[in-house]
Amino acid sequence: MKKTLTHALLICLISANACTSDFDEINKDPNSPTQVTIQLLLPQIVRDMMNSLLTETWGIGNIVIQQTAKNQFVNEDRYLWGERNNLWNAVYENMRDVNNILILAEKDKLDNNKAVALILKSWMFSIATDAYGDIPYSEAIKAKEGVLYAKYDAQEDIYKGILADLATANTLLSTGTDAISGDPLYGGNAAKWRKLANSLRIRYLMRISDRRDVSADLTAIIANPTAAPVFEGNADNGVYTYLAAAPDQFPEYSDRIGSFNEYRASKTMVDWLKSKKDPRLNVFFRATPVTENTPSPADDVFEGLPNGLDDVAAQTYNGGQQFQSRIGSLYYENSITPAGLSIAKGIIMTFPELQFVLAEAAEKGLINKPAEAYYNAGMKGSFDFYNVDPGNAYYQQAAVAYTGTKSEKLTKIGEQKWASLFYTGLEAWFDWRRTNIPALKPSATNQNENKIPVRFIYPIIEQALNGENRKAAVTRQGVDNINTKVWWDVK
């Protein structure tokens, strides 16, 4: 009996040892890959960033730059801003996957894919630093390498990194041969990605132009379109096109009607567009019902809402909500129509913006090119993007024609750029902070010492998770509030 038991135990031990020797293989699920491909990472990064950016633009960006206004729940319009963590979270969460693309591309020597990841990295970090100032950059997304508490880099150093990465991307794309798979922007067209990289370089060089002389860098790009191609028309625009069907529709399409209607046309923008008989007025906003004050029943009436009214005043302005122009239908119920899909997009950068940036650079003498040609191309490009034609008379108006003093010309460039950037991210806010164009006045009953905000505060959770590094950034940059200017903002 004892002998039998001993044999049985021996058999069990041998069997157990044999079973455990291949646990690694047994526990591998062939239907659950442990490594994702670039073609699955890329569209998710772009879509998630676009949705987050448009959400922040709708909720705060259009308002602070006085393109839209709120007629209820008006805290944002009165500068009662708390934490604005949406973009911070989106950038750092998606940056992990950007880093994964960089790792995969480096491993497999995929130069074009590496370049695309560098462009996205540059764009995403630019949004974060322009919104918050000094941020984790050089040590960000390195927890697997043992960096658990990333330092906050100075914005000046971040911009050096951004510009260097975009220059590298341009070089890689000039010789890369690998396919860009899963590309939701350009369908794998490396030449268009290259134009985006160089157009962004121009944008960011102008962003820091009040801090350093960027004329040589700008000239090097503009003077050699073969070595550094840039946008040549709207066909080159860096845009994400949404779909008519769920689940990839324009973010505002799924809003409740009540939530959508909290946002109205800003009087600042409506009055500017009306003063020039600008046909973009009919795209951005809707006419109000006919009243006894309407000159003719056939006339459309557009009435903007002053920014920053209190709740009662905002609700009753101009006789009530029904007489306050709503946001255009192409940004809401008609965003899934062919017309809406051509306009309601997620935007990284467009040809019209580039033309206005170059017009400013030329007018300031940073490049030796005719500013008027860029200015006119920017206006025409914007009208073409919005599928409207203002007619020749528009360009001949005294308030539009490229005449006047240098200051007056720069104002015309800046105002046309501001109008063209309607609901295209936070770029209009970033640019206004740099140029102070247009000459906006703080909202009517603002609660911020009569100052228009110039940055977001850091997420409060950073005080607990990365307190020492955040404290160092605040000490260097200035108090953590919405009035502390970032490094490039010297106006």
C-alpha closest to that of 481 among 57, 58, 83:
83
- Rounded mean pLDDT, 79-102: 96
What is the distance between the alpha carbons of residues 405 and 288, in angstroms, rounded to a whole number?
38
Judge whether residue 482 has pLDDT over 90: yes
367-374 long-range contacts, CB within 8 A, separation 24+: 367/215, 367/218, 367/219, 367/222, 368/219, 369/222, 371/402, 371/409, 371/413, 372/402
Global pTM reads: 0.92
Residue 345 has pLDDT above 60, yes or no: yes
For residue 75, which of 56, 59, 89 has the smallest C-alpha distance? 59
305, 267 Cβ separation under 8 angstroms: yes
Check residue 300 and give its pLDDT: 77
Residue 72 CB contacts under 8 Å (≥ 6 apart), including other chains: 262, 311, 314, 315
Note the pLDDT of residue 14: 44
Q: CA of 105: how far to CAs of 34, 118, 352, in Å?
A: 17, 11, 32
CATH match for 40-241+457-477 among 1.25.40.390, 3.40.50.300, 1.10.599.10, 1.10.10.10: 1.25.40.390
pLDDT value of residue 36: 80
Can you read off the two tokens belonging to residue 109? 């020597």
To the nearest whole percent, how much of the chain has pLDDT over 70? 91
Output the pLDDT for position 115: 98
Cα 295 from chain centre:
40
The band of 33, judged by pLDDT with boundaries at 50, 70 and 90, is low
The pLDDT, as a whole number, for residue 219 is 98
The reported pLDDT for the residue numbered 144 is 84
Smallest Cα–Cα separation from 419: which of 288, 280, 289, 253?
280
Q: Which residues contact 295 (CB under 8 A, 6 or more apart)?
A: none
**What does the alpha-carbon distance between residue 478 and residue 484 come to, in Å, rounded to a whole number?**
6
Q: Tell me, what's the pLDDT at 34?
A: 59
DSSP bridge partners of 361: none
Q: Which residues sit opposite 301 in a β-bridge?
A: 288
Task: Output the six-digit token pair for 401.
Answer: 């024609």
Helix (H) or strand (E) holding 69: strand 68-70
Contact criterion met (CB below 8 Å) for 348 and 239: yes
Which tens digits make up the pLDDT trace of 429-454?
A: 999 999 999 999 999 999 999 999 99
**Looking at the predicted structure, is the pLDDT value of residue 13 above 50?**
no
- Work out the mean pLDDT of the chain and round it to a whole number: 92
In the prediction, which pLDDT does 28 show? Answer: 60
Residue 22 predicted with pLDDT over 90: no
Q: Which of 1-5, 218-222, 292-296, 372-376 has the lowest mean pLDDT?
A: 1-5
Query: In this predicted structure, what is the pLDDT of residue 143?
Result: 86
Q: What is the pLDDT of residues 387-440, one digit of tens each?
A: 999 999 999 999 999 999 999 999 999 999 999 999 999 999 999 999 999 999
Rounded to 10°, the helix 427-435/406-420 angle is: 170
Where along the chain do its domains lie?
40-241+457-477, 252-340
Question: Contact at 8 Å (CB) between 99 and 136?
Answer: no
